Structure 1
Amino acid sequence: MAVGSATSVEKESTRARFTGAGCAGIAELAVFHPVDTTAKRLMSNYGKITSAAQLNTVVFKDKAGASVPGRFFSLFPGLGYAAAYKVLQRMYKYGGQPFARDILAANYGQQFDNAFGKGNGKAILHATAGSLIGIGEIVLLPLDVLKIKRQTNPEAFRGRGVFRIVADEGFGLYRGWGWTAARNAPGSFALFGGSAAAKQYLYKLEDYNKASWSQNFVASIAGASASLIVSAPLDVIKTRIQNRNFENPESGFKILSNMAKHEGASAFFKGLVPKLLMTGPKLVFSFWLAQTLIPAFNKIM
């Protein structure tokens, strides 16, 4: 069995990392933005959905009675914000994790091997690098806030353009940053760790960049599924913080308390099934594409 050391990591060029990650983000946006809107609206809904008519209203809002094309295109609000956020996020996350991984490997790789053993150490190092990058993702939070509000609460804009909102709200656009970081840390740890574990233990790979497209696909399923399940409760809280009207914010702890009191424990996993069935493939798709394209671009750049 090949056992990779945490001190030995794959090397790709900076251009290959960001080009591969950026292409993955663009492709994901083009295919999955309507799915993301549906999941966000389900997570933002208070109470239980008891009928198909109610589900139709929750998902399509004021376009619930429109034609099929009208309802479909209603799932594309905030596409400009989504484009900026998603492409930058994927470039940062998928392109940035290798840099964090390189730094950890160079300075702490031996400690990871000593603490967890070779193979285990390398997989956990990949996961830790992902977690650190996930925390730093809060820099892009204002774009995520604007995207989610356009998807779930468009009346919050009330005729204001993006520059007017930024000027009016300032650092208020970072509302919920602590909950976002708390969600991203374990979620990104599970995403990169689950993928690395699949390559390490299922396929016995020492060099993860040598994974085939099918091996990357299976590894992406493992990482994405683990990430969505681990981060689900905090993701619901984060979404509810961000979709409130600008002038009527609510703290994460108050939302948590009200959810537990009025909706029960199952509320913390609202939208999980749609996320696994719809958002899950979105994450699998982009992560698989990034893991496949980055080594491919590295060979030609």
Structure 2
Amino acid sequence: MSPAASTDKKQSAGARILGSASAGICEIAVFHPVDTISKRLMSNHTRISSAAQLNSVIFRDHAQQALGKRLFTLFPGLGYAAVYKILQRVYKYGGQPFANEFLTKNFKDNYETLFGPKTGKALLSATAGSLIGIGEVVLLPLDVLKIKRQTNPESFRGRGFLKILADEGFGLYRGWGWTAARNAPGSFALFGGNSFAKEYIFGLSDYSSATWTQNFVTSIFGASASLIVSAPLDVIKTRIQNKNFDNPESGVTILKNMFKNEGITSFFKGLTPKLLTTGPKLVFSFALAQSLIPAFDKLLTK
């Protein structure tokens, strides 16, 4: 056994579920309007050159209404968003430790031989995150419905959730390949950036022993790296998902049109507001989950 072997404390499955679900609930309560703004900016195909245009892109048909009424329109798809976000956070934040434990048990020596004990441990965490990110496509239909409600509510045409499931079937998994391609490097960077910061900035041997402040700081590194790495594929994914159900468009077609009509900078549309909006959201939920999981574990094991 290597002297630098992982000493991370293993939390119970119950603690991981409760901690991740609580983080998801808090995240959706605070950041859903911000997420709606980000998605609408990414879905916009025109250049925004004035405050009036920005107002129209964000609030759409309600742009001329009073501020209070406009703000209320930033909560479309809240039901889909809540279910999706809680399941996503439980799967991602609660599932990554299990994947990390599996990889550590079976491949730790390989990683330490290739990259050294500290870097190898951080890369194991990043690889586990990447694998979990790929599997996240299982939740894609809920993400699709959330984004359509936020950016293209006309596509529902008065249909309810069950009716849409019956009508669209596996069409709700449209863009799954692009989603997996975006999630793999994005989750790798999220968990990897977080782990590298814990390893090299704070020198933690047990990542679960991090304080709230340490979790917050390391989450900033992970979230920023994740958003930058995944930005181009995230724009394509969003544009695939916000099309009408009866007028789908492939990711390749969207990619070609973006190059032709909008230029290479279009692949980073919404990145700045995303770093300023989605970044804090991801930092908030990731840091909260990492702090709550050990706290729940202490409560459950008393």
TM over 0.5: yes
- Aligned residue type for 2:39: K
Superposed CA deviations along residues 44-82 of structure 1, whole A, max 9, x for unmatched, are: 000211211111111001111111111001000000000
**Structure 2 Cα separation of the partners of residues 21 and 116 of structure 1:** 30
Matched, 1:272 2:271: yes
Aligned residue for 2:105?
106
**Alignment CA distance shift 1:6-1:159 (3 Å):** farther
Matches of 2:210 and 2:65, distance apart in 1: 46
Where in structure 2 are the equivalents of 1:1-301 lying within 5 Å?
5=4, 7-301=6-300
Instruction: Write the distance in 2 (CA, Å) between the matches of 1:213 and 1:44.
Output: 35
TM-score, normalised via structure 2 length: 0.97
**Using the alignment, how far apart are the partners of 1:6 and 1:242 within structure 2?**
43
Aligned pairs, number:
299
Contact (CA 8 Å) 1:12, 1:295: kept in 2 or not?
yes
Identity %: 69
Determine the C-alpha separation between the residues in 1 that align with 2:79 and 2:227. Answer: 25
Of stretches 44-53 and 117-126 in structure 1, the one that deviates more from structure 2 is 44-53
> What is the rounded CA distance, in whole Å, between the counterparts of 2:7 and 2:252 in structure 1?
42
Structure 2 gap ranges (5+): none
TM-score w.r.t. length of structure 1: 0.98
**Letter aligned with residue 156 of structure 2:** F
Post-superposition Cα deviations, 1:156-199, rounded to whole Å, max 9, x if no partner, equal 00111111111000000000000000000000000000000000
Shift of 1:296: 1.1
After TM superposition, give the deviation of residue 298 of structure 1 in Å. 1.0
Cα contact 1:4–1:206 (8 A) shared by 2: no
Distance 1:208 1:62, change over 3 A: same
Q: Which amino acid is 1:151 matched to?
A: Q
The alignment yields a C-alpha RMSD, in angstroms, of 1.1
Q: Secondary structure in 2 aligned to 1:10?
A: coil
Question: Post-superposition shift, 1:9?
Answer: 3.7
Q: Alpha carbons of 1:130 and 1:5: their partners in 2 closer, same or farther (altered >3 Å)?
A: farther
Cα deviation, 1:110-143, whole Å, max 9, x if unaligned, reads 1111111100000000000000000000000000
Question: Gapped runs of 5+ residues in structure 1?
Answer: none
Mapped partners of 1:41, 1:47: distance in 2? 12
Aligned equivalents of 2:165 and 2:176: distance in 1?
16
After alignment, is 15-24 or 3-12 more displaced? 3-12
